[in-house]
Amino acid sequence: MKRYLILEDGSVFPGEGFGAETVTTGEIVFNTGMSGYQETITDQSYNGQIITFTYPLIGNAGINRDDYESINPTAKGVVVHETARVTGNWRAQMTLDEFLRRKHIPGISGIDTRALTKRLREAGTMKASIVDAADEHAFDQLRALVLPKNQVSQVATTQAYPAPGTGKNIVVVDFGLKHSILRELSKRECNVTVVPPTITAGEILELNPDGVMLTNGPGDPKDVPGALDMIRGVEGHIPMFGICLGHQLFALANGADTFKMKYGHRGFNHPVREIATGRIDFTSQNHGYAVARDSIDPDQLLITHEEINDHTVEGLRHRLYPAFSVQFHPDAAPGPHDADHLFDEFMEMMDAFSANKGASHA
């Protein structure tokens, strides 16, 4: 089935369709990971985006029941150079093609993904469509598209729900969470309550948690202004840990600014330096926005991590309160687990806070 990938700058990439037989439009981005396509496609941070995989062969391990980051992905499309003709992994339940059909996500293969990625690196992310005909009507529709501003509300839970455990009580504020965050908390026997992004500080304090986690999610952090009052109302009262979008919201709540990157960080080969120790972790990342370094108030926030290649801000810690955040995914999935020690640091922060609180009331 002949299909075309068209970009808003007029570029046309012919290929063969797979997955759902539908036309799609969204923001096109590229991911540099060599594996983990199932986790990538089901990551809700890709809401509204067409994902280009730079690795040339995708689909060889099929789709299995263990590697979902969400049950119903909301990516708009998948672009690959070649789809695997044979699925050989013993865990596979279905092929990538079958999965995309079931989830109503179109794909296109046979694309020169190197040329496409170079184009996106030069021009930046842009609107794109997977269509049946690369005619003027298709381009008119593409150029008329207005990218949504309510992405978090499209993917986050609207009702609180538990993930029971026997340890620390953690409130997880869902902005489009990855299941791997819940897995890491489960490993540490946490008793988790997942809450919607519209929750207020007062409602969180009523739950009397030991800690609060701000999750990843899609889109521009400035499209979630209601979360900033919640963060300001909670920090200082309860230890807090932000990841990805949660990191950006934590920065905004404390007076910093964010900006849209030219093509973002999407992959899991991003080296990040912990400034205090010089430790370097290879990290999993998926974000199109970043915290502006020159906007950070040094009396409020300390920069703890930076990306080695472009020196973007990758970690922050509050100078007055027990609260910190990172731009990357210490939960990985996909990617290396170099940074999963940050979950342990969160546990230690809660212990220290509880001990100090108890001492002050003694």
Query: Which residues are annotated as catalytic?
Result: 244, 329, 331
**In contact, 55 and 171? CB cutoff 8 Å:** no
Q: Are 315 and 279 in contact (CB under 8 A)?
A: no
* Separation of first and last alpha carbons in the chain: 73
User: Phi and psi (nearest 5°) for 97?
Assistant: -60, -45
104 Rama sector, left if φ>0, alpha if ψ -120 to 50, beta otherwise = left
Q: How far apart are CA 77 and CA 216, in angstroms?
A: 20
Q: Is 242 annotated as a binding-site member?
A: no
Helices (H) and strands (E) in the chain, counts: 10, 19
Cβ neighbours of residue 6 closer than 8 Å, sequence gap 6 or more: 12, 13, 128, 129, 131, 134, 138, 139, 142
Q: Where are the alpha helices (DSSP H) in 2-61?
A: 37-41
The answer, yes or no, to whether the previous bond of 334 is cis (omega within 30 of 0) is yes
Residue 11 in marked binding region: no
Positive or negative: CA dihedral 348, 180, 269, 150:
negative
Task: Pull the structure tokens for residue 214.
Answer: 């701000």
- Is 124 annotated as contributing to ligand binding? no
286 vs 283: CA distance, rounded Å: 10
- Known binder of ligand: residue 216? no
28 alpha-carbon distance from chain centroid: 15
335: alpha, beta or left, given left = phi > 0 and alpha = psi -120 to 50? left
Flag whether 288 is marked binding: yes
> What is d(CA 350, CA 305) in angstroms, rounded to the nearest whole number?
21
Let me know: does 336 contact 36? Beta carbons within 8 Å: no
Q: Are 227 and 198 within 8 A, CB to CB?
A: no
286 known member of a binding site: yes
Q: Does 289 count as an annotated binding residue?
A: yes
Say whether 217 counts as a known binding-site residue: yes
Q: Are 213 and 246 in contact (CB under 8 A)?
A: yes
Binding site for L-glutamine, residues?
A: 45, 217, 219, 245, 248, 286, 288-289
Binding site, residues?
A: 45, 217, 219, 245, 248, 286, 288-289
